[in-house]
Structure 1
Amino acid sequence: MNADIPPERPVRRYRRGRAHRLENIVMSALVRLGLIPHSYLLTTRGRRTGRPRSNPVTVVEHDGHRWLVAPYGAVPWVHNARAAGVVRLTRRCTTRSYTVEEVSAREAGPVLARYVAVASAARGYFRADPGAPAAEFEKEAGLHPVFRLTEVPERGGE
């Protein structure tokens, strides 16, 4: 082993514990009220049941776009968003629909770097440190899906 190469930092794994449901309920209420910066209530349609599923998420802005990041990997909302291609985001009683487009590792790198800068609670799930170059985050893009959000115009008067 080369002494010049630092060992990889261990990364936390996301596990839904018993408190997960209660935590989501509390966080969802705080997000709906707009009390948590950068946070929204994400609603996806269940790919198997067709029922709406909601989770609090952090949305980042980078390079003139809004981005949805899955810091814990391909969790159920990621599979639902991929299948539907459309999600809804709610904050302060305002809901908007967005199409989602999963992006390449190269495009995801700078977005992940921005995400880690604003979502401090998720930092333990990344090997790259805050402030690391985007290339370090590109290496992790396969573990943290990134979606470009494009707002769906509301239909009026139909």
Structure 2
Amino acid sequence: MSTHVQKPGWFTVNVFNRAVAWFTRRGLSVWGSRVLAVRGRKSGEWRTTPVNLLTVDGQQYLVAPRGHVQWTHNMRAAGGGELRLGKKVDVFTATEVTGDDKVPLLRAYLKRWKAEVGVFFGGVGPDSSDDELRGIADDHPVFHVTVRN
């Protein structure tokens, strides 16, 4: 497995993520944003971070543009979590997507959010070839989200 990680800078942590989370906690989704809550794999405590919820063919996915970051490790250990938008909380299970199944999902993610996250994909974009997307796929975990009713 890849160990690719691109840590966020001060502005992202202290301004951008906080602003998106603030709006999202108040029920205002910023381009599909949600607050992801997942149990820490070591502490067992809830950890939160803003994420972009991708919908493709009626299915929902979480993509980690910065690579194998803490929430992806926690997600693998917990097998799910919560997606929050205002007072609405969707409890979900998550299954990691692997192999060629990631290619169309990464393409869709980049098509929607390239302006925001494109810098983390090493020059690969929504118009790149399948081979180019396959080349960066291991660096960007993707999880299929199944909301429990």
Aligned position for 1:74? 68
Partners of 2:130 and 2:105 lie apart in 1 by 8
Aligned position for 2:23? 30
Aligned length: 141
Aligned position for 1:65? 59
Residue 134 of structure 1 and its aligned partner are, at CA, apart by 3.8
Aligned position for 1:148? 144
1:15 maps to 2:10: no
Residue type of the partner of 1:69? V
Give the secondary structure class of the aligned counterpart of 1:71. Answer: coil
Q: Which moved more, 1:60-69 or 1:16-25?
A: 16-25
Residue 17 of structure 1 and its aligned partner are, at CA, apart by 3.3
Aligned position for 1:91? 85
Q: 1:122 aligns with which of 90, 96, 117?
A: 117
Query: TM-score, with normalisation over the residues of structure 2?
Result: 0.86
Residue 152 of structure 1 and its aligned partner are, at CA, apart by 1.3
Q: RMSD over aligned Cα, in angstroms?
A: 1.7
Q: Identity rate of aligned residues, in percent?
A: 30
Aligned position for 1:9? none
Residue type of the partner of 1:52? W
Structure 1 segments (4+ residues) deviating >4 Å: none
Give the secondary structure class of the aligned counterpart of 2:6. Answer: coil
Q: What 5-or-longer segments of structure 1 have no aligned partner?
A: 1-12, 154-158
Partners of 1:51 and 1:97 lie apart in 2 by 16
Give the secondary structure class of the aligned counterpart of 1:140. Answer: helix
Instruction: Kindly indicate whether the alpha-carbon contact (under 8 Å) linking 2:34 and 2:50 is maintained by their aligned counterparts in 1.
Output: yes
Higher helix share: 2
